[in-house]
Structure 1
Amino acid sequence: MTQRLPPCLTPIDTALAALLRSVDPVTPVALPLTEAAGCISAGMPLLPAYPSRDIAVVDGWALRASDLVGASSYSPLPLTELPAWVEAGDVMPVGYDCVLDADAVEVSGPLAQVMAEGVPGQGVGRSGSDIAESSPAAAAGYPVGAAALLLARVAGREKLNVRRPRLRIVNVPDATATMEMIAELARAVGLDVSAHEAGARDATSIAEALDVSACDLLLTIGGSGIGRRDAVVTALAQCGDVLAYGLALQPGRTAAVGRLGKVPVVVLPGSPGRAFAAWLALVLPLIDKLSMRQPRRTVTLPLARKIASNVGIAEIALLAWEHQAWTPLAVGEWPLQAIARADAWLLVSGSSEGFAAGMPIDAYLIRE
């Protein structure tokens, strides 16, 4: 028995609300720095001040600026004691507050003279100048990026607290390219991904692969249409609950959402473009709730040309950032080259007929 799309498509807002209902954030975990990259920070431990003491940031002579007033090459200033030589990274000697270049001091045996003035802090890294005392490596709710990892490493941290939802992907045969694309997108936003193959395209084989014992979110790829071998929604109905099937979303009409116990499930079409659209409209908001991510960044630019849309169907437009404007690349069905070129995306509500050329548009960046 094959599934059929219902005569009335479910609005995307209704499907998303049903999907997000009863979904709670995952518990934070402490991960090694290399594994924490891309994950959403959660209650980061506060870092100690760095450097912990004043250090030299250049090689040279450590001196007191107040002792050097009036020194110049025309009027060298004799020193009462030999200055201390420091290398970049060395702790500054107590009471010294500047570092002069090597050629600013002449040393001859036990005698030394200075030929330049100095100012307090010259060539010196003050205590806490790189990392203030009790600073977080990354603000809670934001992705852990290279800068946060740098701060953690410099401060001597080996792990960071993050939220990393566990994603299980079930690939229905013949949708491997799409599955690999979704897995790469998921890893890029900090998910712990495991991918599995359904034994065949029949409902029994697919149902056997719908194991949610070790995941926070399950995605299926392919087999969501109305062909004779499309049985994912049937399998989901046998194992759990189908919350919505047949969405008023273009592309992505044959996507579905459901639940297996407490685990949310999103059924993605096998077509790369349709799966990517459902990923943007359904999966990203779900990931954001699971990881307690702060709102995603949007960029406001005028439209280079109009976007026309059909009332009653929410449509996702792919956009390119060109000449300080958003240029629409594709609305409706998406060619692969449009997906490759896109910088941002825009969800056009089903109640809208589109947007006029020149209108300022808030678009979500695909790569933040």
Structure 2
Amino acid sequence: MMRMQPSLGALTGLEAALAALLDGVVPVAPTLLPLYQTLGKIGAAMPPLVHAQPTRDTAKTDGWACRALDLAGASAYSPLPLMAIPVWVEAGVAMPEGCDCVLDADLIDCSGPMPQALGEAAPGQGVRRAGEDMEAGRPLIIAGHRLSAADLLALRSVGIGEIAVRAPQLRLIDLAAPASDTLTGHFIADLARASGATVFDIETVTRDARSVAQALASAAGDLIILIGGTGAGRADATADVLAARGALIAHNIALQPGRTAAIGRLDAVPIIALPGAPDQAFAAFLALVQPTIDRLSGRSARRQTVLALERKISSTVGLAEIVLLKQEQDRWAPLAIGDFSLDAIRMADAWLAIPGGSEGCAAGTAVGAFVFDDPR
């Protein structure tokens, strides 16, 4: 594991901190879960589809199952007598043998002594052909992708009731202090769940070193998140406790917002200590926690959406600064950089990190940003 010697007042570069945090971290083992628990989780590899779907021709709509050839020439002006009443089918049921189309309900007249067709149809009309939905050999899910409602629909359609996912178990320790810290704890828990982690109940402890140490000693999981107590206040003991346990990798990251974040490791379990303020914790979550959850869940690399900047972004050299963006037509409009209001957090569509060695980006520059509502 990569170790860094913490020094008071020094800032650790974001790239170096993230590399140290992720050093040796591997995806967790897959777990089988029922489908209703897997929405938003990251799928693991599964055997491909054995049989094409549907296995037989099925009706797309309710109506009369017919043979198109038997309807040739039928119209409302020239009804065509039929030898027998066609079979009525409901949407989704297998088509009767010899039938290749579905005729609307009002196009068969059964009021007289002999049924009559009042319209014709082409072969395949109203029918979903065998194998039309999914070919044999297709992956049921794409390993490393976030499971969507459409994925679960496809799985249910072939009778699968559970699926393999990688869902890292996250322990969240919230250091009780100002009311904002409690709000931050729930905010971070929601963000982690949306990233595919399984979050246990938030454990709330007082800020003193003994309470924090006891909480760490009993914490178990794939990732431990502490919230609060990372600053320079007299009651801020988080980094000191991690250092005393020999678990501290770095404290004070060259990141804005989120400078006072700390990272560490207890045995093989990564630890990330976030500042208590919501905007500071949010930025550190994006820069440090989200990549760690992605690594633990085996998630594929997140896609970036590239658009031109609507206006210039100025950044402080030496600090990696998180920028919140809103899409305005075909451009990224910066909402906030380095300091976030709750409204900016709420309204943002995407984010990007300006590297510490950059002074920013000129208006019109094409930049890649990570969208918050990433379907993959």
TM-score by length of 1: 0.94
Report deviation, 1:264. Answer: 0.5
Residue 194 of structure 2: aligned partner? 188
Residue 59 of structure 2: aligned partner? 56
Residue 352 of structure 1: aligned partner? 358
Residue 337 of structure 1: aligned partner? 343
In the alignment, which of 327, 335, 341 is matched to residue 333 of structure 2? 327
Q: Aligned partners of 1:46, 1:102: CA distance in 2, in Å?
A: 39
Residue 35 of structure 1: aligned partner? 37
Do the aligned residues in 1 keep the contact of 2:195 with 2:294 (CA within 8 Å)? no
Q: Aligned partners of 1:14, 1:115: CA distance in 2, in Å?
A: 75
1:276 matched to 2:282? The reply is yes
Q: Aligned partners of 1:70, 1:105: CA distance in 2, in Å?
A: 14
* Worse overlay, 278-287 or 80-89: 80-89
Report deviation, 1:110. Answer: 5.2
Report deviation, 1:134. Answer: 4.2
Residue 299 of structure 1: aligned partner? 305
Residue 262 of structure 1: aligned partner? 268
Report deviation, 1:336. Answer: 1.7
* Worse overlay, 306-315 or 72-81: 72-81
Extract unaligned runs of 5+ from structure 2.
1-5
Distance 1:39 1:211, change over 3 A: farther
Q: Aligned partners of 1:147, 1:85: CA distance in 2, in Å?
A: 30
CA-to-partner distance for each residue in 1:318-358, whole Å, 9 max, x for gaps?
11112332111111122222111111111000111100111
Distance 1:73 1:258, change over 3 A: same
In the alignment, which of 155, 159, 163 is matched to residue 156 of structure 1? 159
Residue 310 of structure 1: aligned partner? 316
Report deviation, 1:309. Answer: 0.6
What is the aligned residue count? Answer: 365
Q: Aligned partners of 2:205, 2:362: CA distance in 1, in Å?
A: 48
Residue 231 of structure 1: aligned partner? 237
Distance 1:75 1:196, change over 3 A: closer
Report deviation, 1:50. Answer: 3.5
Q: Aligned partners of 1:212, 1:164: CA distance in 2, in Å?
A: 21
Do the aligned residues in 1 keep the contact of 2:66 with 2:86 (CA within 8 Å)? yes
* Worse overlay, 14-23 or 298-307: 298-307
Do the aligned residues in 2 keep the contact of 1:221 with 1:270 (CA within 8 Å)? yes
Distance 1:156 1:331, change over 3 A: same
Report deviation, 1:202. Answer: 1.7
Partner of 1:210, secondary structure, is: helix
Aligned-residue CA RMSD (Å):
1.9
1:82 matched to 2:85? The reply is yes
Do the aligned residues in 2 keep the contact of 1:302 with 1:357 (CA within 8 Å)? yes
Do the aligned residues in 2 keep the contact of 1:198 with 1:206 (CA within 8 Å)? no
Do the aligned residues in 2 keep the contact of 1:311 with 1:351 (CA within 8 Å)? yes
Partner of 2:119, secondary structure, is: coil
Q: Aligned partners of 2:335, 2:218: CA distance in 1, in Å?
A: 37
Extract unaligned runs of 5+ from structure 1.
none
1:217 matched to 2:223? The reply is yes
1:7 matched to 2:40? The reply is no
Report deviation, 1:361. Answer: 1.4
Report deviation, 1:109. Answer: 5.4
Partner of 1:135, secondary structure, is: coil
Identity %: 52
Q: Aligned partners of 1:74, 1:31: CA distance in 2, in Å?
A: 58
Q: Aligned partners of 1:74, 1:101: CA distance in 2, in Å?
A: 17
Report deviation, 1:208. Answer: 0.7
Matches within 5 A, 1:80-229: 80-107=83-110, 111-174=114-177, 175-211=181-217, 214-229=220-235
Residue 18 of structure 2: aligned partner? 16
Q: Aligned partners of 1:344, 1:82: CA distance in 2, in Å?
A: 59
Do the aligned residues in 2 keep the contact of 1:172 with 1:222 (CA within 8 Å)? yes
Do the aligned residues in 2 keep the contact of 1:171 with 1:195 (CA within 8 Å)? no
Partner of 1:172, secondary structure, is: strand
Report deviation, 1:240. Answer: 3.4
* Worse overlay, 114-123 or 338-347: 114-123
Deviating above 6 A after TM superposition, structure 1's stretches of 4 or more consecutive aligned residues are none
Q: Match for 1:350: what amino acid?
A: G
